[in-house]
Amino acid sequence: MKRSILVAALLSTLPFASASAYEAGDLILRAGAANANPDASSSEVRLAGAGIAGSSVDVDDNTQLGLTGTYMISDSLGIGLLAATPFKHEVSASGIGISKVATVEHLPPTLTLQYFPIKGDTPVQPYFGLGVNYTTFFSEETSDELNGALGDSDISLDDSFGLALEAGVDVALNQNWIFNAAIWRLDLDTDATINSPAGQVTVDVEVDPWVYMLGLGYKF
């Protein structure tokens, strides 16, 4: 809700300009700040296959450079792509005697079919998208706290493939430059495995992040 109010306030201060409607063959490229905010939940943490009652893990948020593009395949439909510089997250735990578990990085390329409902010349172009997300994890490192408790360990996370929902709005600043605000909901599930001298630790995590982006774009 706070983010929605902030976006509305920002839009109210922008100098709207007349703009031509999007047409088949247009290419819109955007860049800005993208925040990946996990709505995480998990199974119990399992040590050597045995669940630890009351345990769970969580994932913090992170902001990176977001890059998006839209290629209009008709006057109302576009193919959208979300990319970003690698997001880096801290993984924390509760109910296992330690709080910091690991840091991980990921890239979440997301492809959507976008629908632009407003036709004709207008400075405001809302759009909605439905598609797929592929998230790949890398640079996974266990924390000093975990290594101190279990011995030197390593962690790996499975890549994820899932549904993506999107909503956004382009606001024309002139015939080519635009202001953009967008939000995605990604279906992102992963299995984490920690190999340690004390035994193998596993946990299933539903990360399911909201991704928020504010930026500028250019229509070619």
Residues of the chain with pLDDT under 70: 1-20
DSSP state of 144: H
Residue 123 is encoded by which pair of tokens?
């400075």
Residue 44 is encoded by which pair of tokens?
């119990």
Question: Which sequence spans correspond to the domains of the chain?
Answer: 2-219
What pLDDT shows up at residue 5? 44
What pLDDT shows up at residue 79? 98
Q: What sign does the CA torsion over 105, 194, 135, 205 have?
A: negative
CATH code for 2-219? Answer: 2.40.160.20
Between CA 78 and CA 26 the distance in angstroms is: 9
What pLDDT shows up at residue 10? 53
What pLDDT shows up at residue 17? 52
What pLDDT shows up at residue 76? 95
Between CA 197 and CA 200 the distance in angstroms is: 8
Residue 158 is encoded by which pair of tokens?
């499975």
